[in-house]
Each structure stands twice: as C-alpha cells, then as structure tokens.
Amino acid sequence: MKEAIEGATDIVFTLGNIFYLTVDGKNVIGHLDTQKRAQLNEQTLDGTQACIEEGLRLLHEHSSARIYVTVSPVPISRNRGARYGSAMEADCASKCQLRTALSRVKGKFTYLPLFEVFKWLAPHQSFPTFGADDGNSRHIAQDQIRVVMEALT
C-alpha cells in the first residue's frame, strides 16, 4: 500500500462513518478476538475533524498526488447503539458529521460530492443507482461511478 500511495497521481480519500470499536480501551480494526467484548464508540465532531486532518497530513507527507475527498454514499448496515432509533438515523447523523467536519478542514484537496450525487439524485433517476451490478442494494452501479468520476475529476 505504501508503494501505491507514493506512486499515485490521484488518491480518493473516502470517509465512511464516525463509529469505531475499542477493546479494553484500545482501538481495534479488523478481526476481533471473539472472547473479548468490543465497545462501540462515536467520534465527536472535533475528533472527526482531527482524524480527517491527520489522514490528509499523512497522505501529503507520503505522496504528491492530487487528493480527492468524499463522503461514502454507502449506508451504515445496522444500528449503532441505543442513542439511535435505527440504522437510518445513525447513518444520517454519521454522514452529516463527516460532511460538517470536512467543511471545517483547511488544506490541499478537492471535495467530490459523491455522497450528494448518489444519495440525493438517485430517487430522481429513471434507472437504478444501487444494486444494478450484483443485486445488493448497498452497492452503487459501477458504470454510474465511472461516469460521475470522469465528470468530476
């Protein structure tokens, strides 16, 4: 991955959600030890901004590529704790926080409005945006991604 980042001419940095897991107070990524109980956490707005800034700093430190940032239009798959009544509510809060935090970040990157294009335009189209390739309602059709990326980059 390091070589790919260092040699890239363009990088799309996609922000997914504000939730993360900890076990015994330590962040965990990937496969969890099934013997331990993971704690679901929610990043604060300031913390989200700091994470985005750190991610961009690292990308700029290791690459001279053009950096595009986007908020993922792929919805959260299940509820994220008692604070939210549904996965839709958690997804809305998460994506709004990501977009708000990103709007506060200063730096050298271009925002790609993929979230807005795919989430807000999809209901107004006469063709399916999600699930056309594989029947999974969470996956955006590849031909639409290609068209949008060519138009925006």
**Structure-derived torsion over alpha carbons of residues 76, 51, 67, 125, reported in degrees to the nearest 10:** 20
- Beta partners for 28? 21
Sheet holding 39-42, edge to edge: 26-28, 19-23, 39-42
pLDDT (tens place) for every residue of the chain, 153 residues total: 889 999 999 999 999 999 988 888 888 876 556 556 778 889 999 999 999 999 999 999 999 999 999 999 888 877 777 788 898 999 999 999 999 999 999 999 999 988 888 888 878 888 888 888 998 888 888 888 888 888 877
Q: What is the pLDDT of residues 40-81, one digit of tens each?
A: 889 999 999 999 999 999 999 999 999 999 999 888 877 777
Structure token digits, residue 136: 């999974």
Give the C-alpha separation, 112 to 108, whole Å.
13
Hunting for tokens 């030890």 — which residue is that?
33
Domain borders along the chain are 17-67+77-108
What's this model's pTM, rounded to 2 decimal places?
A: 0.83
